[in-house]
Structure 1
Amino acid sequence: MTAPAGAEPQNDSPRSRGRLRHWLAGAGVATLAAVLGITLAVRGGATPACAAPPSGNTVHKGKASFYDAGRSGGNCSFPGPPADRLYVALGASQYAGSAACGSYLQVTGPKGTVRVMVMDHCGGCGTSKIDLSTEAFTKIADRSQGIASVTYRAVVNPPLTGGLTFRLKGGASRYWFAVQVGNHGNPLRSVEAKGASGGFRKAARQSDNYWTIDGGIGPGPFTITVTDGYGHQATATGIKLVTKQVQRTSVPLVSPATPSSSPSPPAPPSPSVSPSASPAPTATVEALAGPAPLGSPRC
């Protein structure tokens, strides 16, 4: 079952607390600090030290189960599942604190192959287990199996319709910037933003797939630069301070001219996903060729 990333249950019995107090009584300050750091990391559901989303040409072998997220956008906080309902949840080491959100995997099972978007964190999945949507699982295995042996790999520069999307989180304001980037295809490396005045500031990735800047960057409109793990970069302008609405752009992060990438022609701007909301403004985007691919994490 897929569940939000969270802390493991702790043994907090009186006996355990007594043992801990007794042990700490004879410990030095450095040891105490180390113990407290470990405890905070466990309780906070920290991302594993070597966590990284699937990327490049690496083929992973493992098992796949299936689940139904309903109308939810999963731990990636998307407005909802993709229209084709082909999505996947990854374990902590590959979900990587939301770094995998919005990227795509090609999964092959006994019956065939399917392309799925990373939308969720699977709390019960280890390094070799993935949790597919029911619709995706039935394309690669018989549902009666429950669990199937699979291989999967990242889809590099997946063809997508339309350009980048931006969605400001509820509560975002001139004093606290929080944006979600969508329709990017490859795992994102960084997001930088600036307001009508001042320079770019680097945003911090959060586990719910929002990028935040404490203190805010003013009332907008905003200019946002997005860089993926392979070095592709795009800069969008004209993003308004409107929360909970999808603001669409017209140019993909990965240019159609980029080798191994063949995105569909950009779709025209469309309204927010909320039927009652006013149409979101269209941003101007410049797609740039970037540096070498992002390397493996150092452990």
Structure 2
Amino acid sequence: MAKLFAISLLTTLLAWGPAQVAAQGIRGTATFTGNDHNGGSCSLSNYTLPAGISGTGIGPSNWAQAGKCGSCIQVTGPRGTTKVMIVDSCPSCLENRLNLFDDAFRQIADPVDGIVDVTFDIASCGLDTPLIIRNKIGTSRYFFSMQVLNCNFPIVDLEVSTDNSQTWESTVRQEYNYFEREDKSGFGKDEVMLRVSCSNGRRVIIPSVTMDSEKEITAPVNC
């Protein structure tokens, strides 16, 4: 089957939360932590952060059930601006608090300050490589569980077709950043077609996605 992709406008943009986003972004605060993203809540183990992009955790007010995982934000503090990828949650963080990796914090503030005022907002990760689909361990025709990696913008939906795009079924994003069927079952097929919708209004169709456990599939394009 030839590789296909489609791009279309969505009717809504990704929202961070009620009345939080202004033209200049979200006003909040930032502190810092270590630089290991592998054990984070976004389940990005064995994924290499893009060159020039560090990581951050976000608090409950912006977590949105892992809805921002793998996407990037531009953060501006008293010293400067940096781009980071959301790799973890921060359950103890106050509203609009970022828990930046320490190398990112040094780009925007002096570490001796500990906690600083910042503004932040969604920004393209600027990747020129395609989306990556990763199957969770145990994925099969009886259990569907996949995540989307390497995205330029937040992923808002992952749909599955078993009839060559005639019909589509949405999946549910789990707190550990995998999309699964609502009843935790599979689609009864060894191969399906995926449609990934991104917050910038683009959709990417990925044909011939196999249900092999822990398999990675490269999409035709990025968002």
TM-score (norm 1): 0.62
Corresponding residue SS for 1:144: helix
Cα distance in 2 for partners of 1:237, 1:182 equals 17
Q: Deviations over 1:109-130 (max 9, x none)?
A: 1221001111110111122211
Is 1:228 aligned to residue 160 of structure 2? no
Select the residue among 128, 139, 149 that pairs with 1:182: 149
* One-letter identity of the residue aligned with 2:126: P
Q: 1:158 to 1:218 in 2, by over 3 A?
A: same
Whether the 8 Å CA contact 1:162–1:249 is kept in 2: the answer is no
* One-letter identity of the residue aligned with 2:29: K
Whether the 8 Å CA contact 2:37–2:55 is kept in 1: the answer is no
The CA RMSD measured in Å over matched residues stands at: 2.5
TM superposition shift of 1:154: 1.4
Corresponding residue SS for 1:72: coil
* One-letter identity of the residue aligned with 1:235: I
Select the residue among 96, 119, 127 that pairs with 2:64: 96
- Residue pairs, 1:153-168, within 5 angstroms: 153-155=121-123, 157-168=124-135
Select the residue among 131, 135, 138 that pairs with 2:106: 138
- Which residue does 2:95 correspond to in 1? 127
Q: 1:252 to 1:126 in 2, by over 3 A?
A: same
- Which residue does 1:216 correspond to in 2? 186
Whether the 8 Å CA contact 1:73–1:81 is kept in 2: the answer is no
Q: 1:162 to 1:56 in 2, by over 3 A?
A: farther
TM superposition shift of 1:71: 5.2
- Residue pairs, 1:261-280, within 5 angstroms: none
Corresponding residue SS for 1:218: coil
TM superposition shift of 1:55: 6.9
Cα distance in 1 for partners of 2:23, 2:64 equals 18
- Which residue does 2:86 correspond to in 1? 118
* One-letter identity of the residue aligned with 2:139: A
The percentage of counterpart residues that share the same residue type is: 29
- Which residue does 1:74 correspond to in 2? 40
TM superposition shift of 1:245: 3.7
Q: 1:74 to 1:127 in 2, by over 3 A?
A: same
- Which residue does 1:46 correspond to in 2? none
Corresponding residue SS for 2:211: coil
Unpaired stretches in structure 1, ≥5 consecutive residues: 1-49, 254-299
Whether the 8 Å CA contact 2:162–2:189 is kept in 1: the answer is yes
Q: Which has the larger radius of gyration?
A: 1
Looking at secondary structure, tell me which structure has more strand per residue: 2
TM superposition shift of 1:251: 1.1
Cα distance in 2 for partners of 1:120, 1:148 equals 20
**Which 4+ stretches in 1 moved above 3 angstroms?**
50-58, 195-199
- Which residue does 2:207 correspond to in 1? 237
* One-letter identity of the residue aligned with 1:171: G
- Which residue does 1:269 correspond to in 2? none
Q: 1:70 to 1:249 in 2, by over 3 A?
A: same
Whether the 8 Å CA contact 1:186–1:229 is kept in 2: the answer is yes
Looking at secondary structure, tell me which structure has more helix per residue: 1
TM superposition shift of 1:184: 2.0
Specify which structure has the bigger relative contact order, considering alpha-carbon pairs within 8 angstroms and separated by 6 or more residues.
2
TM-score (norm 2): 0.81
* One-letter identity of the residue aligned with 1:251: V
TM superposition shift of 1:176: 1.1
